[in-house]
Homo-oligomer: A and B are copies of this chain.
């Protein structure tokens, strides 16, 4: 475990850039004093922000560039235009060169994944990376993946997601053998998605020491906290996450409107405001900000593009924890345990078919 956690920030990413990234870094530094920052972006915009935060300034160095990846760029455009020059690339490059332990960006997700994959490459045994988030549930937190890095994928891909997700959950939740469920729909006997049933058979047959496969979980099983890790391919994971986020925002808006509608409810709100405060904090989308890219030779965290400084600070906290808990080495250990969890999957597949 490194004594200092070195974090490279894309100071041009997101809807706002340095004016959110720098104050966000200052908030996170207040929580974790042993952090050092590499701030990548336009020096003319970073320096005035840094002047407001002397402690951060003392813990940072600037890598100047004025090339930013646009939120509208397609991944291939971003790679073509921004490789070796953009703030996003250079933040990842700091990880590649060993100058930082993690890179964090609020920029364009597709571009960030494309650059991270191109420059860092996937871990041995992993074909395709994943985006992971920690989802608050009725029974604590759940690691959900993939949230959109990879669309589709065979049973082997789902099994590798299960192994990577379990590694992350065991690190975050301090559980030696986290439970893992595969996202599926209720009806058992249905055409399509044979890869999910096949992945279930493989996971059951492998009976890995590092994860406890518990079966299929339906869409509402995520909120119920039925497993420590929920595995799905990226399209579904993205739709599920956003449908849930949308519903939470809808209910929050409804609640706000109703509490303002009459003087009785306004008085009620005053009495119960501590309860509402707690509810707001527990539902705060900022707090679940920070999608971790798994499966790469390096840790990259994606923050929401539209977040504020508080939200960006949470994304930095996520990156900090990943480094502090040595996520990458633990994933590698899990992938290679018992002669390689993933390379033994095809054998298991033959064994059960």
A110 lies within 8 A of chain B by Cβ:
yes
A242 lies within 8 A of chain B by Cβ:
yes
Is B271 a contact of A243 with CB atoms below 8 Å?
Answer: no
A284 to chain B, nearest CB (A): 12
Q: Which residues of B contact A268 (CB under 8 A)?
A: 267-273, 275
* CB<8 Å pairs between A and B, sample of 29: A109-B186, A110-B190, A137-B250, A138-B250, A148-B185, A148-B186, A151-B190, A151-B191, A151-B192, A152-B193, A183-B239, A219-B240, A221-B246, A222-B243, A223-B243, A232-B239, A239-B240, A240-B243, A244-B244, A254-B283, A258-B279, A259-B275, A261-B275, A261-B278, A264-B272, A264-B274, A265-B275, A267-B272, A268-B268
Question: B-facing mask of A10-31, CB < 8 A → 1, else 0?
Answer: 0000000000000000000000
A-B contact sample (6 more), CB < 8 A, given A235-B236, A267-B272 = A151-B192, A219-B244, A219-B246, A220-B242, A248-B251, A262-B275
Residue of B nearest to A272 (CB): B268
State which size class the interface on A falls in.
Answer: 35 or more
Is A251 a contact of B191 with CB atoms below 8 Å?
Answer: no
A75 lies within 8 A of chain B by Cβ:
yes
A81 to B305, CA, bound (A): 55
Residue of B nearest to A239 (CB): B219
With most chain B CB atoms within 10 A of its CB, the pick from A137, A219, A249, A276 is: A219
A7 to B290, CA, bound (A): 51
A109 to B259, CA, bound (A): 38
A218 to B253, CA, bound (A): 19
Q: Which residues of B contact A261 (CB under 8 A)?
A: 275, 278
A350 lies within 8 A of chain B by Cβ:
no
With A265-B275, A275-B261 as contacts: A138 and B253 at CB distance below 8 Å: yes
Among candidates B138, B189, B251, residue contacting A110 with C-beta atoms closer than 8 Å: B189
Q: Which of chain A's residues 206-221 have a Cβ closer than 8 Å to chain B?
A: 218-221
Is B264 a contact of A279 with CB atoms below 8 Å?
Answer: no
Residue of B nearest to A250 (CB): B223
